[in-house]
Amino acid sequence: MKPNGKPFTDGNGNALSIEGMKDDKSKIKELADAAKYWGQPEGRAVFYPNMRKISDEEHSEQVDRMSQGLIPSMNDLGAVIAAKKTLELYGDGE
């Protein structure tokens, strides 16, 4: 996160990010080193739990699934469990 509170992005909305566990000092250092290399020596690392990086193709597939009324990602176990409970309670509408 830049000092002004905005994410450090590449101009296309892609944030500088790295996969890792919260408070993993080696990953935070890698991220800070990359930010310095790309011209942003100040700022702070922000951890977003239960998030993962996806490709542009996977994003497109998720948008397509969502537009069809489906769960965007079958990897979202919470959404899958909630959908299953809803079907058990109310049926599939047919």
Please name the residues in contact with 16: beta carbons below 8 A apart, sequence gap of 6 or more: 7, 8, 9, 10, 31, 34, 35, 38, 40
Mean pLDDT taken over the chain: 85
What is residue 28's three-state secondary structure?
helix
Provide the pLDDT for residue 94: 65
Cα 88 from Cα 24, distance rounded (Å) = 40
Residue 77 pLDDT class (50, 70, 90 cuts): confident
pTM for the structure as a whole:
0.56
Domain layout of the chain by residue ranges: 1-51, 56-90
